Chain A
Amino acid sequence: MKVLGNRAKADWSAPLPAERAGASVRLSGLRRSFGPTKALNGLSLDIAPGELVALLGPSGCGKTTALRVLAGFETLDAGHVLVDGQDLAGTPAQKRDMGMVFQSYSLFPNMDAVDNVAFGLRMRGHAARARRDKAGELLDLVGLAVEAKKFPHQMSGGQQQRVALARALAIEPRVLLLDEPLSALDAKVRLQLRQQIRSLQQRLQTTTVFVTHDQEEALSIADRVCVMRDGRIEQVDAPADLYARPATPFVAEFVGTMNRIPGVTESGGVRVLGRLLAMRGEGTTNPGVPVDVLVRPEALSLSDAPGSDGRGIVTNKTFLGAVTRVQVLVEDGLGVQVDQPSEEVATLALGAPVGVFIAAPDVLTAERRAPAAFHEAPSN
């Protein structure tokens, strides 16, 4: 890592030569139980060098346990963790060369920012001068050169987390582990720091595992997102693919906004809103089975003349900028959300009759649930 000088503000876009490539990580058949709870249930994942993978899932899905196993804080009941092909079984946490950033910052309260960042180097026996220089560089890199002599309690949450990031990077880790690093911060700081982490990670090419329960955060920062549920992986994909083509109903509903529209299977597909559409995924292929069809708001369209499509009336409109989210009440009290270009629905009045149809060529189906208006993905 080169010396960047004493700039008061970080220049996140400045070129930085990648002196080291990230390490490859392989998690193979990880199993870990806490009493009757299976935190990890055969989790396997390959992470390429320099890649940022987000582990996304609801509370208790095992994402933090997976990270802690990687860091060496948890033991495995079964499975292997390999970094650059080397099995880390039996390697204690302090010898794994992994930098970790915790949700609660966890800076050492008795040390100022410089000493916090230099701590890992001190443990590695670096000379005092060398480690202070390196710590200074990293604080400069995260834009905190002027806060170097401040103690943690004298800094804001965002500043503390940037120091924690610098501290984790100071040891030039083979893998950077981020355990919900932004969840304790307010929305504005969270957004800024998210961009800064991504920028820094791309420049340093450090292999990174980012744990979060915030789907927006995961989709915006990661090269690939790994959606977890009950200690298993539901789907690993690039953010765009994960959003556009969720592999399971769980992923479809956990990531983004999703309508559940009742349909019935037929030979050759599923009949929904008066149309027969192809099915994808692992849904039933037996004809005559009532199912819910999962459709994103942008995959639905409105027509002026209700025909064979779903007929309904407009109950609400929410302007979102380029698009407007229109809520339509269709038959049987079912409410669906439809995203339309704002200019197209500018004159659409509340109470107006409209037709709703699915513009996608194929759809994902799930087991029929009790009548529900629509499903809103958890917001964070």
Chain B
Amino acid sequence: MGESAQVSAASHRSIPAGDPGPVATRRGAGGAFEDDVSGRTWRSRVSPFVGLAPFALYTLVFLGIPALAIVYGAFQKPSGGFTFENLRLATTGIYRTGYETSLELAVISSVVPGIIGLLLAYAIHTSKSTNLRRIVSTSSGVFANFGGVPLAFLFIATLGTTGVATTWLRDLGIDPYQHGFDLYTLSGVALVYMYFQIPLMVLVITPALGGIRSTWREAANNLGARSWQFWRHVGGPVLLPSVLGAVLLLFGSALSAYATAQALTSGSIALTPIQIGTFLNGNVLAGEQNVGKALGFGMIVIIMVVMLLYGILQRRASKWLR
């Protein structure tokens, strides 16, 4: 108390009579503008954001400006001037089918791998073998990043009509193509997507599982909860925001994937990313030059709606975090 009183008195003495006292800003000795109230210079306020500048520039150049160009172009006639015609065309006929198929594929390829990946990650997380954990973690990193044309050819060479596995199975008297399987259909594409979506889910959700403390489980157990009751009341709700976030990531990944589906189906399935690719390749009817941009605009809207829904769900699921 005494010490603080002295400090207080000293600081009062340091202000000469007639001093106007602290002001909001004034020129400091070093030439920088100083905020006398907080004692922070504008440099100290700006410096934390300097490191973000390259990322901000990157995002602006490769996301912001292209997105603005797409939105602008979606409402422009080829000859110039505002129009809704591009949007009308993009939401009817084959393009509408493209959206529906893309959404169906994205939902299947996010929910199913989400569940499988979660169960797999949980099994690995609870395994006592550190070697198994290390192997699965490393291989997940590899598989999650293996996609595009090589992945499509891997599946064609293995499970295509004349693939190695298909031939072996035929030799064994089982022809998968006679039993409803077809790699070149929507379900085939979804199967191929699982190849990188499941490991991606494992990679993303494993740290969240690590956040489930063993003593929560023991405490629940001690209070009379069985394993499923722990997951119903504690583990599940705690994990839900992370699971939602991970599934959203898978959804975005599946919705926008292009190369794998294109290489696998050669455009025989109506998927919006492939349709946009067709426009980029210049296969355009006269007067429909900007329909591709309208399709891109539709994709942006879908992602925004999904993110909005995710935000609402996430807020509800994690209200205990606020």
A and B: partners?
yes
Find out whether the CB atom of A94 lies under 8 angstroms from the CB atom of B321: no
Task: Give complex CA distance A108, B239 in Å.
Answer: 12
Closest-CB distance, A273 to chain B (whole angstroms): 47
> B79 an interface residue at 8 Å Cβ cutoff?
no
Query: Which B-chain residue is minimally distant from A124 (CB atoms)?
Result: B224
B237 within 8 A of A: yes
* Given A109-B238, A110-B320, A153-B321: A94 in contact with B225 (beta carbons within 8 A): yes
Inter-chain CA distance A123–B234, complex, in Å, is 12
A153 to B318, CA, bound (A): 13
Q: A94-B221, A120-B224 are in contact. Are A104 and B320 (CB under 8 A)?
A: no
Taking the complex as formed, is A88 at the interface, i.e. its CB lies under 8 A from any CB of chain B? no
Residues of B within 8 A of A71 (CB): 218, 222
Q: Which residue of A73, A99, A111 is within 8 Å of B320 (Cβ)?
A: A111
Q: Interface digits, B215-234 against A, CB 8 Å rule (1 contact, 0 not)?
A: 11011111111100100011
* A367 to B218 alpha-carbon distance, docked (Å): 43
A98 at interface by CB-CB < 8 Å? yes
CB-CB under 8 A for A171 and B215, given A108-B234, A119-B233, A123-B229: no
Q: Is the CB of A106 within 8 A of B218?
A: yes
Across the interface, name the chain B residue whose C-beta is closest to A105. Answer: B215
Q: A110-B238, A123-B223, A123-B229 are in contact. Are A104 and B213 (CB under 8 A)?
A: yes
A94 B226 Cβ-Cβ under 8 A: yes
On whether the beta carbons of B216 and A99 are closer than 8 Å, the reply is: no
List B contacts of A167 (CB < 8 A).
219, 223
Number of A residues with CB within 8 Å of any CB on chain B: 31
Bound: A108/B216 CA distance, A = 6
Of residues 176 through 232 on chain B, the ones whose CB sits less than 8 Å from some CB of chain A are 213, 215-216, 218-226, 229
Would you give the shortest CB distance from B114 to chain A, in whole angstroms?
Answer: 20
Evaluate contact between A109 and B320: CB separation under 8 angstroms: yes
Evaluate whether A104 and B225 lie within 8 angstroms (CB atoms) in the complex, with A119-B220, A151-B320, A153-B321 already known: no
Across the interface, name the chain B residue whose C-beta is closest to A179.
B215
What string of 1s and 0s marks CB contacts (under 8 Å) between A266-279 and chain B? Answer: 00000000000000
Whether B237 contacts A100 by the Cβ 8 Å rule is: no
- B219 contact from A96, A108, A110, Cβ within 8 A: A108
A73 to B221 CA separation, bound complex (whole angstroms): 9
For chain B, what secondary structure do more than half of its interface residues adopt (helix, strand, loop), or is it mixed? Answer: helix
A72, A102, A171: residue with the most chain B Cβ atoms closer than 10 Å: A102
Chain A 71-85: CB-based contact to B (< 8 A → 1; otherwise 0):
111000000000000
B236 to nearest A CB, angstroms? 9
Task: With both chains docked as a complex, state the minimum distance between the C-beta of A247 and any C-beta of chain B, in angstroms.
Answer: 34
Q: Check B321 against A106 for contact (C-beta < 8 Å).
A: no
Contact B234 A110 (CB under 8 A): yes
Which chain A residue shows the least CB distance to B222?
A100
> By the criterion CB–CB under 8 Å, are A171 and B219 in contact?
no
Q: Are B224 and A171 in contact (CB under 8 A)?
A: yes
Contacting residue for B213 out of A73, A106, A111, A151, CB 8 A: A106
| Min distance, Cβ A191 to any Cβ of chain B, angstroms | 23
Would you give the shortest CB distance from B33 to chain A, in whole angstroms?
38
What residue in chain B is nearest A122 (Cβ atoms)?
Answer: B233
In the complex, what distance in Å separates the CA atom of A111 from the CA atom of B321? 10
Q: Can you list, as one digit per residue, whether each of A147-189 has a CB less than 8 Å from chain B (1) or not (0)?
A: 0000101000000000010011001000000000000000000
4 tightest Cβ-Cβ pairs between the two chains A and B: A120-B223, A123-B224, A106-B215, A110-B237
A-B contact pairs, 28 of them (CB 8 A): A71-B222, A73-B218, A93-B218, A93-B222, A94-B223, A94-B225, A94-B226, A100-B218, A100-B222, A102-B218, A102-B219, A106-B218, A107-B219, A108-B219, A108-B234, A108-B238, A109-B216, A109-B320, A110-B237, A110-B238, A111-B320, A119-B225, A120-B224, A123-B220, A123-B223, A123-B229, A124-B224, A151-B320
B residues with a Cβ closer than 8 A to A are 213, 215-216, 218-226, 229, 233-234, 237-238, 320-321
> With contacts A106-B216, A109-B216, A123-B220 known, what are 13 further pairs, Cβ within 8 A?
A93-B221, A93-B222, A99-B223, A100-B218, A104-B213, A106-B215, A110-B234, A111-B320, A119-B220, A120-B223, A123-B223, A164-B219, A171-B223
